[in-house]
Amino acid sequence: MSQKDGFYSVYEVFSKKTDKSPLQHQFSLLAPNEEMALIMARENFFRREPVADIWVAKRDDIRMTTQEEREMLKRLNNKEYRETRGYGYLKKKWRNYQQEQFTEQSLLSNSKGGKE
């Protein structure tokens, strides 16, 4: 009576702390079916912590990366053209025109109109 004869499967547990939180991986557990996996997830991981939603997924159904693939992920470090730090030189440029470069915050906040 074990994984060997197909009784238990490994389930991965994900949860959201509040409605606004991103889904987060919690841990894994052994369960004979997904209903039991949900019950076990509540018992094992949310005896105290607040939780807004719980997902369980059979590990076999999740495509995870291999070590080889994860080694490849590390090499992607030349992405400045996609990031604000690739555009830091604009700060000096704008100064030449007596203007401040917009910060990330000022770009994302709605203009209130009128003069400050």
d(CA 56, CA 10): 10
d(CA 15, CA 30): 17
With beta carbons less than 8 A apart as the criterion, state whether 39 and 29 touch. no
- The only residue of 34, 39, 42, 43 in contact with another protein, by rule CB under 8 A: 43
- The only residue of 5, 60, 61, 104 in contact with another protein, by rule CB under 8 A: 5
- The only residue of 21, 24, 44, 109 in contact with another protein, by rule CB under 8 A: 44
Q: What are phi and psi of 90, to 5 degrees?
A: -65, -25
CB 48 to another protein: min, Å? 8
Residues of this chain that bind another protein (CB under 8 A): 1-8, 10, 27-30, 32-33, 36, 40, 43-45, 47-48, 64, 66-68, 71
